[in-house]
Amino acid sequence: MDESNVVKIFDTTLRDGEQAPGFSMNPEEKLLLAQQLARLGVDTIEAGFAASSPGDFESVRDIGHALKGPRVVSLCRTRFEDIDAAAEALKGSHNWGLHVVIASSPLHMKYKLMMDPDDVLQSSVKAVERMRSFTDSAEFSAEDATRSEPEYLVKLFSEVIAAGATIINVPDTVGYTTPGEMYELVDRLMNEVKDIDKVTVSVHCHNDLGMAVANALAAVRAGARQVECTVNGIGERAGNASMEEVAMALKTRQQFFNLHTHINTEQIMPTSRLLSQITGQVVQPNKAIVGANAFAHESGIHQDGVLKNPLTYEIMTPESVGIKSNNIVLGKHSGRTALADRLKNLGYEFSRNELGKIFQDFKRLADAKKVVYDEDLEALVTQGAVEDNGRYKLRSISVQTGTHTVPTATVEMEVDGQVVREANFGDGPVDAALNTIKAITQTQCNLTGYKVNAITGGTDAQGEVTVTIEGDGKHATGRGTDLDIIVASAKAYVNALNRLAHINQHVAGV
């Protein structure tokens, strides 16, 4: 592979993506996703904002020390305490760097920072020098660059490169620009910024007007060689440039761009599904590359064409992004080796101890539903991280209900390590179960969303429940799976409570 024609993928799912409502992840879930991002082949993982909270510090540290492939970075403001905290979290990691950001547009400098341009420039230079005292990988981002004055950007980037920045990033922070404007801006920077040929030029595009991927690709054509993006395009407001769309655009139109990435595209779908499993947020069916309809054909004319030659209506194969044609895989007589092999085909690899726990859960599920599908296995992969972490743990649940019976639930839980058992009533069995959990945890949150989905077809399908709760103006989403929909509902509610507790302890990043 010609490295001179490589566009590096900087994945910020764990930082910018996690800041979006409903996408909060605990440290164990972040590490699980980071390991999958490494298998996917991203060049850089932005693991979080180490200075924002003790939880983010620990998560950045754990990811940095666990991964041996991608560079792991932490976001910082230009404050020295931010940079020092990030360096402390990552020091000793195999491959790491720092990423500092400060706003550069007149609007942001005046109303958000309350700083004049010279102060921003001085702060930027000092921050880059501070980063370089810890690491040779120092990225500088000019927030709201596409609404900044180009002359000021040229001066700012020239100064930070002189101070030691190795990557300069041009963010379209509010998704305001268009592909033509992005091309012109990056082209101007490539021609006017001093020593820009000695650094990597990066872009970070938001999707407020639906042009994030188009803007990122326009910047690439102008000379940018790093794209900051997220799995499934998640992120603040309307999200970020979608990693899978950027990677597959460069691969599918390789003759046009004459560029490529290090992405193992067959890991795209497993990564997308893992994120959905962890967060409980399902990708919309018409989403490019990873949506349920991306390779579906209902029109008779389309079906006829695809059967004769798939290229008539498919510009890439389902297999190229990791979609397998046969989903029926394992049953109750299958062994540990077969399970490990199928999980590996789905993109997951585990230690012997980790596989042992999944195998036990698999056997219980196979005994109950006979045939285990890929989607069932993906649920098993994530259910440990979803169910077993946090201050609340569900131990058991029993529900009495019927035509002439008042629905009653008896629930046993661990609350901060203490076992609590209680019973309560409800308008139905699910209501009774959630009322009892609410009484045990002594929480005052409101249930604002409740959704049930069958993971696979058939009457023995596992039920997947997603709930959204609200407390003190904060929202959290929880997910639970089980053959019993009432148990799945209880698991989802407990998961949401744990997420809300995590959010209340977490200071939002910049």
Q: How far apart are alpha carbons 29 and 279 in whole angstroms?
A: 9
Amino acid at 47: A
Asked if 244 and 37 touch (Cβ cutoff 8 Å), the reply is: no
Dihedral (CA of 20, 97, 258, 194) sign: positive
Q: Please give the CATH number for the structural domain made up of 391-505.
A: 3.30.160.270
Candidates 209, 41, 60, 215; CA nearest to 145 is 215
pLDDT value at position 509?
A: 33
The DSSP secondary structure of 300-328, one letter per residue, reads HHHHHHHHH-GGGT-SS-GGGGT--S--E
CA separation (Å) from 280 to 23, 434, 452, 480? 8, 18, 11, 8
Q: How far apart are alpha carbons 313 and 301 in whole angstroms?
A: 10
Q: How far apart are alpha carbons 108 and 148 in whole angstroms?
A: 9
Asked if 50 and 81 touch (Cβ cutoff 8 Å), the reply is: no
Place of tokens 């300069």: 168
Non-local (6+) Cβ contacts of 263 within 8 A are: 9, 40, 41, 42, 243, 247, 251
pLDDT value at position 20?
A: 87
| pLDDT by residue, tens only, the chain of 510 residues | 567 799 999 999 999 999 888 888 888 899 999 999 999 999 999 999 999 988 899 999 999 999 999 999 999 999 999 999 999 999 999 999 999 999 999 999 999 999 999 999 999 999 999 999 999 999 999 999 999 999 999 999 999 999 999 999 999 999 999 999 999 999 999 999 999 999 999 999 999 999 999 999 999 999 999 999 999 999 999 999 999 999 999 999 999 999 999 999 999 999 999 999 888 888 988 999 998 888 775 555 655 675 677 777 778 888 899 887 544 457 777 788 888 887 887 777 788 888 888 888 888 888 876 677 777 787 777 665 555 567 899 999 999 998 888 999 999 999 998 999 999 999 999 999 999 999 999 988 999 999 998 877 777 778 889 899 998 888 888 888 888 999 999 999 998 898 888 777 653 333
What strands, in cross-sheet order, belong to the sheet with 446-454? 446-454, 463-471, 474-482
Q: What is the pTM of this model?
A: 0.79
DSSP label at residue 293: T
Place of tokens 């990033």: 169
Q: How far apart are alpha carbons 441 and 428 in whole angstroms?
A: 20
Domain map (residue ranges) of the chain: 5-279, 328-385, 391-505
* Token output for 213: 């991927």
Asked if 476 and 503 touch (Cβ cutoff 8 Å), the reply is: yes
pLDDT value at position 510?
A: 32
CB-based burial of residue 106 (10 Å sphere; 0-12 exposed, 13-18 middle, 19+ buried)? middle
pLDDT value at position 389?
A: 62
Dihedral (CA of 187, 188, 192, 193) sign: negative
Asked if 9 and 261 touch (Cβ cutoff 8 Å), the reply is: yes
The SS3 call for residue 36 is helix
Strands 392-402 and 405-415: antiparallel
Q: How far apart are alpha carbons 139 and 124 in whole angstroms?
A: 11
Non-local (6+) Cβ contacts of 248 within 8 A are: 265, 268, 289, 316, 320, 321
Amino acid at 492: A
pLDDT value at position 107?
A: 97
Q: How far apart are alpha carbons 437 and 434 in whole angstroms?
A: 5
Into which CATH architecture does domain 5-279 fall?
Alpha-Beta Barrel (3.20)
**Cβ atoms within 10 A of the Cβ of 301, count?**
10
Integer-rounded Cα radius of gyration of the chain: 24
pLDDT value at position 332?
A: 77
Non-local (6+) Cβ contacts of 475 within 8 A are: 21, 22, 448, 468, 469
